[in-house]
Chains A and B, each alone.
Chain A
Amino acid sequence: MISHIRNFSIIAHIDHGKSTLADRLLERTGAISERDMKEQLLDSMDLERERGITIKAQAVRLSYDAPDGQQYELNIIDTPGHVDFTYEVSRSLDAVEGALLVVDASQGVEAQTLANTYMAIEAGLEIIPVMNKIDLPAAEPERVAKEIAGVLGGSSDEVIAISAKTGEGMDELLEAIVTRLPPPEGLEADPLRALIFDSYFDTYRGVVCYIRIKDGVLSKGDRVRFMATNNVENADEVGILTPAAVPVASLGPGESGYIITGIKEIDRVRVGDTVTRVDHPATTALPGYKEPKPMVYSGLFPTVGDDFERLRDALEKLRLNDSALQYEPETSTALGFGFRCGFLGLLHMEIVRERLEREFDLDLVATAPSVAYRAFTTAGATIEVRSPQDLPAANQLDHIDEPFVKVMIISPSEYVGTIMELAQSKRGEMGELTYLSPERVEIDYELPLGEVVFDFFDALKSRTRGYASLDYEPSEYRTSNLVRVDVLLNNQPVDAFSAIVHKDRAYNYGNTMTRRLRELIPRQLFDVPIQAAIGGRIIARETVKAKRKDVTAKCYGGDISRKRKLLEKQKEGKKRMKMVGSVEVPQEAFVSALQIDQDG
């Protein structure tokens, strides 16, 4: 019965306890036996469990017996909190009518609390504010409740205080879910319109789509049409997630679940598309999703050249499950064939790479991440520069614009001075300063995206002892003093090491790269100069001296087997070398030199 359905997302700043709250809901509704229960059960990916964060939004259906004797169907979506995965949150919001806005009682409102709240309001959702972790000694329930009320414009009495750890407050929360969230709307008699809000590729079953039925009914065996791709398929299986996949005969309006049609051609399915029935078709599709614009780009290359096709296939499949990922083929003289990929941030980039390596058994090298610049040529053309290679030669270049973002920083007010100093050093332009409460302040800035994604966030965290949080959204492009620094190995530029940096940081980048490479490149048969250059001007130089001695002193009858093993090992090392011009560069050197966690 549609009146007994409640669909909602759990949203919050990172680590405020969304997944733990989902655990309690699973437990209270008996979806998971005590024996199978584990912490953050919905974080099912290895990477999520290792890192202790949610990466993928995860939907699950629960059946709740309310104290009034009625049974409710709850479709909940646990979402990630990290800013890089905002797209996961925003997509989930189109599949629900309500949101639990969770705030850590020991932290208070933070940047993604606000950002997610704005998204939920924009999606027209009913929001239930939930204050979590009240069991913590450091909890400040009164202050935090006031902050939340301030953000939502309500009273602090509406805030439900819980501990997702101890289970305190869960009855009240469940009651609020049933009474305060509206049931979905939609008629069984209408033509089917189901929104695909997520998907993944199953080796045996093909593409599995997660859907939310807006109107109509979808039954097993129906002929269905994917409206954007105009692809007609058979609904081989329809089901719900409990969280295990359980087949059902049909899904009605307001319900969420999955559909399997046996499609193996990945390009026939698109997240955000509408599924309708062939025998009773809808005329207009649901609005769907806006493709997110990547914030950073990086080249991904297989360490083994033959793996290029496997990488393409892996990217296609991964994209089904990560629709924020974008990619296009790219060629590098140093690294061969690969893809220039667009990500929503550095964490997203790291996760994509790890998922590709783990789930598809690939070994990858990633080039230095870069934001997208705009280059203006003297001939009057505008070029989008996603890789340093796209930058026109200096003599054809008129100027370069770089993307700026609108940054919202939330912090205890004592750090305002520190934050202003930091933002200024990163070329920030201050906007409004608002007190959320006497102790908590929101400061807005315009900052270059490149500064924000690469080190501003870490610097902010360390200078505010972890208390400040940040959210950002694209703003405008502005002309900046940017240069391309090339790295030359034995006088030949190595494209994988080029970077576009602000002029003030060019020297530092050049120095760091040449020094790092000197350590990483083994001695060769001749001296190898390593230089950093802007155009024709050398700004840093190191030399790897020629190798003088590589010989085992003794090799007699007793040593032959051992000697052979040593040489075999040395041979394996040689085979992992990539020839860059006449220089042998170990694969690991690319990986290590391009590691961004080091200074520079």
Chain B
Amino acid sequence: MGDADLVQIVERAADDLGAYLHVPFCEAVCPYCDFAVVAGRDDEVSRYLKAVTAEINGSDAVGLVDAVFVGGGTPSRVSGLAGLVGALEERHGLAPDAEVTLEANPEDWTDGKAEELRTAGFTRVSFGAQSYDPMVLEYLGRRHSPNQIDAAVDSVRRTGFESVSIDLIFGSPVESDASWERTLGRALEASPDHVSTYALTVERGTELSRLVIGGAPAPDPDVQAGRYEIAQAILQDAGYRRYEVSNYARPGHECRYNLIAWAQGEYLAFGMGAHGHLDGVRFRNVRKLDAYLDAVERGVSPRAGQESIMTGDPGLGNALDEERVVLGLRRSSGVVLDDVATAFMASSAGIRLVEAGVITAREGRLVILKPLLTDEVCSSFLASRS
């Protein structure tokens, strides 16, 4: 915790360049999912990959890419990802030590796929494992078994990827503390380099939200707080270091791509619904498959919108500073104790948070001691600025 190497790692990410490639195809849409996904459109895969390639080829070069993230959707379901990474490398160039992550579902994984993707330049695989409890997997609408998770992680290891990560979701109404502990135990047995643990969140517009509105049990935030603490204890005991609200890694295996986002760094974005950040502007592509394909094929920009973080409402203070702190505070190493952070600590809200043991100043940085209250801290910070 608070290790000097970690501070260095997270701060260095601010100067890295990322690239996000979105592959939206899924077997079916999971009830809790609010990502930009499509199901039942697999016949469009090759057309889509062509479109993304075209989008990459048409983008302005801004420098070597340090971290690539191919997310979804379920990229592991499609073949032809090698072409995407190739196009990116050709257009922008990849740094020699670049991290290239693939998001994958365990049920799609085969040794053959592992070989192919490793050869294509992927260095890291992140599995949507979610749980080792069959009841929870069913509740979440997942189609894999606990054993498939183990098999997939094994296969990645054998193929020589540099890093493998497991995503877990906790706090669903069908889960118990004991079930969550068993899931964590089995995940550790698989010995991943990186673990993400997410509290199940009912997002608007999802099937889950419709069910909850209709009276189905909703996740209980207090129960989730308890589970969060369980995960924190078990994972830290096993040598995983929490470096962000929901992310743990063995030292050196932090996800570089995500660190860029929390360091307010820049990243390119390709594919439907992809978000990017360049030159103080956050932009996003259209979120509908047909609209995306149509735009790219007609040779027009698939951008759906953008906003400048430089030109926030002047009455609200410097939006750039505010965003930097709000993002940075999600990291266990927090943010540099500069004028902005110092002013917050001296505000009445800051003082109350210090007194309540929620935030503190440590080795020249402002850090959150109770990550479960991160949004409380961030909204207090924003309120203290206006």
A1 at the interface (CB under 8 A from B): no
Q: Chain B's nearest CB lies how many Å from the CB of A299? A: 26
Residues of B in contact with A, size category: 35 or more
Q: Does B382 contact A567, Cβ atoms closer than 8 Å?
A: yes
- Residue of A550, A557, A561, A574 near B374 (CB, 8 A) is A550
Known contacts A553-B201, A554-B246, A560-B275; decide if A574 and B372 are in contact (CB<8 Å).
no
Chain B residues within 8 Å of A556, by CB? 258, 261
Chain B residues within 8 Å of A548, by CB? 221-222, 225, 372
Q: Does A561 contact B221, Cβ atoms closer than 8 Å?
A: no
Q: Does A551 contact B327, Cβ atoms closer than 8 Å?
A: no
Q: Does A567 contact B378, Cβ atoms closer than 8 Å?
A: yes
Known contacts A526-B356, A564-B326; decide if A575 and B383 are in contact (CB<8 Å).
yes
Q: Does A560 contact B282, Cβ atoms closer than 8 Å?
A: yes
Q: Does A558 contact B375, Cβ atoms closer than 8 Å?
A: no
In the bound complex, how far is the Cα of B174 from the Cα of A525, in angstroms? 29
Known contacts A556-B261, A558-B275; decide if A549 and B383 are in contact (CB<8 Å).
no
**Residue interface bits B357-386, CB-to-A below 8 A is 1, else 0:** 010000000000001111110111011001
In the bound complex, how far is the Cα of B154 from the Cα of A228, in angstroms? 98
Chain B residues within 8 Å of A573, by CB? 379
Chain A residues 440-464 with CB under 8 Å of chain B are none
**Residue interface bits A538-552, CB-to-B below 8 A is 1, else 0:** 000000000111111
Q: Does B228 contact A549, Cβ atoms closer than 8 Å?
A: yes
Known contacts A553-B246, A558-B273; decide if A571 and B386 are in contact (CB<8 Å).
yes
- Residue of A558, A567, A570 near B20 (CB, 8 A) is A558
Q: Chain A's nearest CB lies how many Å from the CB of B375? A: 5
Q: Does B199 contact A553, Cβ atoms closer than 8 Å?
A: yes
**Residue interface bits B266-284, CB-to-A below 8 A is 1, else 0:** 0101000111110000101
Chain B residues within 8 Å of A582, by CB? 352
Known contacts A525-B358, A551-B371; decide if A560 and B201 are in contact (CB<8 Å).
no
Chain A residues within 8 Å of B323, by CB? 560, 564
Q: Name the residue among A526, A556, A558, A559 with the largest chain B CB count within 10 angstroms.
A: A558
- Residue of A551, A557, A579 near B275 (CB, 8 A) is A557
B330 at the interface (CB under 8 A from A): yes
A568 at the interface (CB under 8 A from B): yes
Q: Does B225 contact A574, Cβ atoms closer than 8 Å?
A: no
B73 at the interface (CB under 8 A from A): no
**Residue interface bits A204-221, CB-to-B below 8 A is 1, else 0:** 000000000000000000
In the bound complex, how far is the Cα of B371 from the Cα of A560, in angstroms? 18
Q: Does A553 contact B221, Cβ atoms closer than 8 Å?
A: no
Chain A residues within 8 Å of B375, by CB? 550-552, 566-567, 570
Chain A residues within 8 Å of B139, by CB? none
Chain B residues 190-248 with CB under 8 Å of chain A are 198-201, 221-222, 224-225, 228, 245-246
Residue of B nearest to A575 (CB): B383
Chain A residues within 8 Å of B330, by CB? 555
Q: Does B373 contact A550, Cβ atoms closer than 8 Å?
A: yes
Q: Does A571 contact B382, Cβ atoms closer than 8 Å?
A: yes
Chain B: interface secondary structure? Answer: helix
Chain B residues within 8 Å of A553, by CB? 198-201, 245-246
B307 at the interface (CB under 8 A from A): yes
B353 at the interface (CB under 8 A from A): yes
In the bound complex, how far is the Cα of B326 from the Cα of A559, in angstroms? 13
Residue of B nearest to A555 (CB): B330
- Residue of B260, B269, B373 near A525 (CB, 8 A) is B373
Chain A residues within 8 Å of B350, by CB? none
Chain A residues within 8 Å of B380, by CB? 574
Known contacts A525-B353, A550-B373, A582-B352; decide if A557 and B18 are in contact (CB<8 Å).
yes
Q: Does A551 contact B372, Cβ atoms closer than 8 Å?
A: yes
Known contacts A526-B356, A582-B352; decide if A567 and B379 are in contact (CB<8 Å).
yes
- Residue of B246, B275, B307, B372 near A550 (CB, 8 A) is B372
Chain A residues within 8 Å of B386, by CB? 571, 575
Chain B residues 284-331 with CB under 8 Å of chain A are 284, 307, 323, 326-327, 330
In the bound complex, how far is the Cα of B224 from the Cα of A556, in angstroms? 21
Q: Chain A's nearest CB lies how many Å from the CB of B282? A: 5
Q: Chain A's nearest CB lies how many Å from the CB of B184? A: 16
Residue of A nearest to B330 (CB): A555
- Residue of B246, B307, B349, B379 near A561 (CB, 8 A) is B307
Chain A residues within 8 Å of B262, by CB? 555
In the bound complex, how far is the Cα of B317 from the Cα of A568, in angstroms? 13
Residue of B nearest to A573 (CB): B379
Residue of B nearest to A564 (CB): B323
Chain B residues within 8 Å of A558, by CB? 20, 273-275, 284
- Residue of B261, B326, B353, B374 near A551 (CB, 8 A) is B374
Q: Does B261 contact A571, Cβ atoms closer than 8 Å?
A: no
Chain B residues within 8 Å of A563, by CB? 326
Residue of B nearest to A551 (CB): B374
Q: Name the residue among B262, B277, B379 with the largest chain A CB count within 10 angstroms.
A: B379
Residue of A nearest to B199 (CB): A553
Residue of B nearest to A552 (CB): B375
Residue of A nearest to B275 (CB): A558
Chain B residues 168-191 with CB under 8 Å of chain A are none
Q: Does B372 contact A561, Cβ atoms closer than 8 Å?
A: no
Chain B residues within 8 Å of A579, by CB? 348
Q: Does B261 contact A560, Cβ atoms closer than 8 Å?
A: yes
15 sample A-B contacts, Cβ–Cβ < 8 Å, listed by A number = A525-B358, A547-B373, A548-B225, A549-B225, A549-B228, A549-B372, A550-B375, A551-B374, A552-B201, A553-B198, A554-B246, A557-B69, A558-B20, A560-B277, A571-B379
4 more CB-based (< 8 A) A-B contacts, given A557-B258, A567-B382? A525-B373, A552-B375, A574-B380, A574-B383
Listed from nearest, the 5 A-B pairs whose CB atoms lie closest are A548-B225, A570-B379, A558-B275, A525-B356, A571-B382
Residues of A within 8 A of B (CB): 525-526, 547-561, 563-564, 566-568, 570-571, 573-575, 579, 582
Residues of B within 8 A of A (CB): 18, 20, 69, 198-201, 221-222, 224-225, 228, 245-246, 257-258, 260-262, 267, 269, 273-277, 282, 284, 307, 323, 326-327, 330, 348-349, 352-353, 356, 358, 371-376, 378-380, 382-383, 386
